[in-house]
Amino acid sequence: MSIPTHSWLQLLTILVMTTLASLSQANVSVPSAQKQQAWSFSGPLNIDPLNISGLVVTQQFTALASDEGQSIELFTFQQTEQKKWKSLATVPLSQKDDELDIEALAWQAPYLYAIGSHGVKRKKLKAGLSQKQNEKRLETVVREPARHQLFRIKLDDQLKVMETHSLSLDSILQQEDILKPFSKLPSKENGIDIEALAIDEKGRLLVGFRGPVLRGNTLPVLRLKLNKREFAVKKHKLLYLHTDNGGGLRGMSETENGFLILSGPVGNQSMPYQVALWSGENALKGKDQPSGAVKTLCHLPTSAGKPEGIQFISQSHKLIEFMIVQDGLPNGQPTLFSCPSR
């Protein structure tokens, strides 16, 4: 007896969805928050408190970034009955009223790095407009140069700003044949969207992309070697990694033996936020792919916010502890989580 084509398609669809669901749940545990509000603040933030997009925690200070506005904020630890951060300074990155879209931070003494998304955007549709008017909005793709910057802020021993320099990665993105076609696509449509930043053991910057996500759930990471005397890129190389959930990179942080990577939706689709451990090696699939270069650790619990920043805290033979801040939650709601270190 023959089975109608549409039945075969239904069976195939069910099989694919079941397989994907099982893969997404396999060997993945949900971390539990060690403390519901691991850190709080002694006063109101001087940056947009509902759009926290990145953080760095060091022994001397903490820095928070917002993807709205032109500043980052530095905090010192205030020892009270409850752990609190006390505002130390607000660091303006522009004297203009431009939207910098700062998405990530990284620290290597004496430099604090901050990076913008380097993405373009398409105008949103509005229910109060006609279809023709909304079609015109869809035709409009906007490039804002202020968002296309990598900043280097030099701090002294007292955490005062000594100097600030910036450069754009646009020319480098155009030199990479794989990334170049995505530079004209809006960031939420799988175009260029930088949201992660870290520094390797050789002092090279690792720039992670929320988009594009390439075929085979392949995520690009741009490695930058900087000139020692001036703030300029000396060499660059694309690395690749893969995640189980098919999401883009939302955050990255150095660990004792690699990098924690936070991945999640490229756009607004529903998908779990995942934390994995990456060795820092090029993990592109192939017969010479290094074994165990990327290890899935856990999914984050469902939240009303959007996890956008991750900071490694500590590691034992059983657990990796890290902090998450979230866009859409007051002050980013910095919360401590732990995952099995596997």
Q: Rounded to two decimals, what is the model's pTM?
A: 0.88
341 vs 274: which has the higher pLDDT: 274
Q: Is the pLDDT of residue 29 over 90?
A: no
More confident residue, 83 or 124: 124
Q: What local confidence, expressed as pLDDT, does residue 57 receive? A: 94
- Closest C-alpha among 32, 70, 31, 74 to residue 51: 70
What is residue 95's predicted lDDT score, i.e. its pLDDT?
Answer: 83
Residue that has been written with the tokens 């646009």 in this structure: 170
Per-residue pLDDT, averaged over 111-123, amounts to 95
Question: Would you say 250 and 271 are in contact if contact means Cβ atoms under 8 Å apart?
Answer: no
Residue that is written with structure tokens 């001036």 in the block:
230
| pLDDT > 70: percent of the chain | 87
Q: For residue 336, give Cα distances in angstroms to 63, 83, 182, 300.
A: 16, 12, 35, 11
With 60 as the cut, is the pLDDT of residue 271 above it? yes
Take residue 302 and report the two structure tokens written for it. Answer: 């469902």
Residues 6+ apart with CB under 8 A from 150: 113, 114, 115, 116, 166, 167, 168, 169, 205, 207
310: confidence class by pLDDT, cuts 50, 70, 90:
very high
Q: CA torsion 331→334→335→340, rounded to 10°? A: 140
Q: Cα–Cα distance between 43 and 92 in angstroms, integer? A: 19
pLDDT of residue 308: 94
Instruction: Please indicate whether residue 78 or residue 318 has the higher confidence score (pLDDT).
Output: 318
Rg of the Cα atoms in the chain: 21
The more confidently predicted of residues 245 and 236 is: 236
Residue 317 has pLDDT above 90, yes or no: no
Q: Give residue 267's pLDDT.
A: 80
Per residue in 59-116, pLDDT (tens digit) is: 899 999 999 989 999 999 876 666 789 999 999 999 888 889 999 999 999 999 999 9
What's residue 36's pLDDT? 54
Q: What is the pLDDT of residues 177-233, one digit of tens each?
A: 999 999 999 998 999 999 999 999 999 999 999 999 999 899 999 999 999 889 999
**What are the tens digits of pLDDT across the range 281-300?**
999 999 998 888 999 998 99
CB count within 10 Å of CB 229 equals: 6
Q: What is the mean pLDDT of the chain?
A: 87
List % helix, strand, coil for the chain (3-state, nearest 5). 15, 45, 40
User: pLDDT at residue 2 above 50?
Assistant: no
